[in-house]
Structure 1
Amino acid sequence: MKISRLGWSLSAAALVTVGSAGFAHAQAVRSDSATHTVKRGDTLWDLAQAYLGDSYLWPEIYRLNTDQIEDPHWIYPGEILRLPGHAEAAAIAAAPVTRGDTTHVATGPRPSDEPEPPRRVAGPTVFTPVRLARPHRDTDEDAPAPARVPIGDVVRAPYFDASSGPRGAGKVLVGYEIPGIDKPNATANFQLYDKVLMDPPAGSVAAEHERYVAYVLGDYVENVGMVVIPTALLQVVRAPRDGDAAIVEVLELYSQLHSGQLVVPLDTAGAGANQIPVAVPAGSGQTAKVRYIHRDKTVLPSLDYYVMFDLSVKDGLRIGDEIQLYRPRVDQGGDIGPSIPEIAIATGQVVRVTPWGATARITSQEQPAIRVGESVRITARMP
């Protein structure tokens, strides 16, 4: 097949036109310019071909303009880009280029009187960058400080009440579930998430989701009050209707839960404070005596045990205050021998305060002598 001379000429012209179309726009400016004003359609690839003679040298232009090019994939119309000088361009073009390597070009100081080029004055030249929504992330500054005393410590702590216990208390009746065999509904040893029938306390509506605390009475402490010991946290799942008992669910168990135990509404007054206690000057803190220790089948009380003493809300005590158990200094009078110094026994955090007394949870221990009758002093108070 023969091709005429005219056909060969047309084919060659078409190839030249296609090969030069990618950077024809960039070549529209003078080749001896020190700067280039970006026009729509320009890319660093095209500018490197036009000014440096090799498209793969585009990083040299990018390094001179990192103050205004955030991403080398995107340059914007109106940006004024600095270009390598004639000597630099000649050296760059003459240097052997290895694909993937980086050629570092030393640049002179930027003239102080050169105006700051605009960062972005128009839309993108080729592609529109995708703007992703920045998700909000909670930081430590955004999150509120946790409560100084966890609500669980407040609810499960034993406390002092009136000599006969809480007034108008309700009562745990029997299990709600019907046994699979022929026997009465359960009356003892209820477990987590069991449903139980409850006679609400006097004056309580027992609406759904309201919470109540089941308890048993402990010892009566003379001149202080009756010890109330919580056994479970209950939540109403069906309010009383037409004289029916309320149906409650066992949310938390602190001890054994049986029929006949008494019930009072959940009281979290004073809980939730997140301030840091302020130390009390030495020798100025109020003092008291340990009057009761809640034991659970162990001989020696230790960490996380509850001690109860005879300071109350009348003394300004608050949940979150800090205490120290200690044995006071014993003065021997000089004849028998030297005096016995004060001995620190343990420290604790106040978790319950009533008009009759206070309860603290032991947080650290130095001596195994956590006993009724030991001295207590306030070492820090909530602001």
Structure 2
Amino acid sequence: MPAAQPIQIKPTAPKHYVVKKGDTLWDIAKRFLNTPWNWPEIWYDNPHIKNPHWIYPGDVLTLYYVNGQPRISVTGGPRVSSIKTVVLKPSVEYQKLPKTEHPIPIQTITPFLVHPRVVPVDIFDKAPHIVAAADSRILYDSGNRVYVRGLKSDAKQNWYSVYRPGGVLKDPKTGEVIGHQVLYLGDIHILKRGRIATGILEHTREEVTAGDRLLPLVRKHYNYTFMPTAPKTTINAQVIALFNSISMVGQYQVVVLDTGTRDGLRRGDVLAVDQYGRMIVDRYATRQESRDVRLPNQKVGLVMVFRTFKRISYALVMSATDPIMVGDLVHNP
């Protein structure tokens, strides 16, 4: 387990801060802390208000100390001022709370929660696949009847999403394939099960063909609450893929890491990103010294994990001083 870092309150941290619409939890944590992932250690709930773990526009956050330890809690704002003492007159008061502010830009990560872009190899290689259409056509579209092989006959789910396998992702250390990059093509409604199942394609974005794979259709409400925190285990990993970019990404773009729940990684964990120091030739080296020298690694950013699998995870770039690239090192902040 990595050693706990001391809480570092910024010299410029305000004693009071009023949450504004558009603030993210990450932004607020950076106002108070040099290490925003330590926010859970100083955040103290107000048990007398509803949803004490959430922060709303209008909340007044106060920084104070107890036995020398910093704490922050909600001490004012609509949720606090609206609490009334009722004497001998039982009543119920309802007040609509303003829209909550999320710790990260939700619109950025939602597509990765609904339709995965990288799928672990142990899941994708066992996924059912389309074998043919009802007629002799090669490419299929919405409304076309197709046949599927590999569906379990006792499965209760009738709706699936269709994906096409793309490039493979390998463990940088061993070369082992650990995931597939995939392209979402559309959905399929299974009409009849059997050794070869029958289905109808729906909502296709691109043409489907034999060999495309089926994964369960996601119809659940995601918990978009992410509390930035430091990992509880020691993480030493790498960036193995980028999205919406050929060679590099910056703030609020998504990367894939070659680490996951198997290594103790959790949603909300914050990790530092380093780039390898470049190799140089030291023209002034002594005879006893090598002329080839690698400079120290350089910290280039922070990422926060928002979706985990067994051996890979998705992370959002929270800050970056330089572009983040495939091969960059990822470790405890």
When normalised by structure 1's length, the TM-score is 0.45
- Quote the Cα distance in structure 2 between the aligned partners of 1:315 and 1:363: 22
- Quote the Cα distance in structure 2 between the aligned partners of 1:342 and 1:145: 35
**Partner of residue 127, structure 2:** 169
Q: Secondary structure at the match of 2:192?
A: coil
Residue 287 in structure 1 maps to residue 236 in structure 2: yes
Mapping of residues 328-339 of structure 1, within 5 Å: none
> Is the contact between residue 294 and residue 307 of structure 1 (CA under 8 Å) also seen in structure 2?
yes
Structure 1: where are the runs of 5+ without partners?
A: 1-135, 179-183
Greater relative contact order, per chain length (Cα 8 Å cut-off, separation 6+): 2
- Quote the Cα distance in structure 1 between the aligned partners of 2:150 and 2:103: 29
Residue 308 in structure 1 maps to residue 253 in structure 2: no
Greater helix fraction, Structure 1 or Structure 2 = 1
Residue 168 (structure 2) aligned to one of 207, 214, 219: 219
- C-alpha displacement at 1:276, in angstroms? 1.4
- Quote the Cα distance in structure 2 between the aligned partners of 1:256 and 1:305: 28
- Quote the Cα distance in structure 1 between the aligned partners of 2:183 and 2:145: 14
- Quote the Cα distance in structure 2 between the aligned partners of 1:330 and 1:260: 43
Mapping of residues 188-203 of structure 1, within 5 Å: 190=141, 197=146, 199=148, 201-203=150-152
- Quote the Cα distance in structure 1 between the aligned partners of 2:103 and 2:186: 22
> Is the contact between residue 159 and residue 353 of structure 1 (CA under 8 Å) also seen in structure 2?
no
Q: Secondary structure at the match of 1:218?
A: strand
Mapping of residues 16-165 of structure 1, within 5 Å: 138-140=96-98, 150-154=109-113, 155-162=115-122
Mapping of residues 225-374 of structure 1, within 5 Å: 225-232=177-184, 234-240=186-192, 244-250=197-203, 253=205, 257-266=208-217, 272=223, 274-279=225-230, 286-290=235-239, 292-294=240-242, 298-302=246-250, 306-327=254-275, 342-368=297-323, 370-374=324-328
Cα offsets for 1:108-163 (capped at 9, x unmatched):
xxxxxxxxxxxxxxxxxxxxxxxxxxxx87423xx67769765422233314324x
**Percent identity of paired positions between Structure 1 and Structure 2:** 15
- C-alpha displacement at 1:263, in angstroms? 1.7
Greater strand fraction, Structure 1 or Structure 2 = 2
Q: How many residues align?
A: 226
Q: Secondary structure at the match of 1:356?
A: coil
- Quote the Cα distance in structure 2 between the aligned partners of 1:147 and 1:209: 35
**Quick check: which has more Rg, 1 or 2?**
1
> Is the contact between residue 160 and residue 225 of structure 1 (CA under 8 Å) also seen in structure 2?
no
**Partner of residue 187, structure 1:** 139
**Partner of residue 11, structure 2:** none
Cα offsets for 1:45-103 (capped at 9, x unmatched):
xxxxxxxxxxxxxxxxxxxxxxxxxxxxxxxxxxxxxxxxxxxxxxxxxxxxxxxxxxx
When normalised by structure 2's length, the TM-score is 0.50
- C-alpha displacement at 1:377, in angstroms? 1.8
> Is the contact between residue 250 and residue 322 of structure 2 (CA under 8 Å) also seen in structure 1?
no
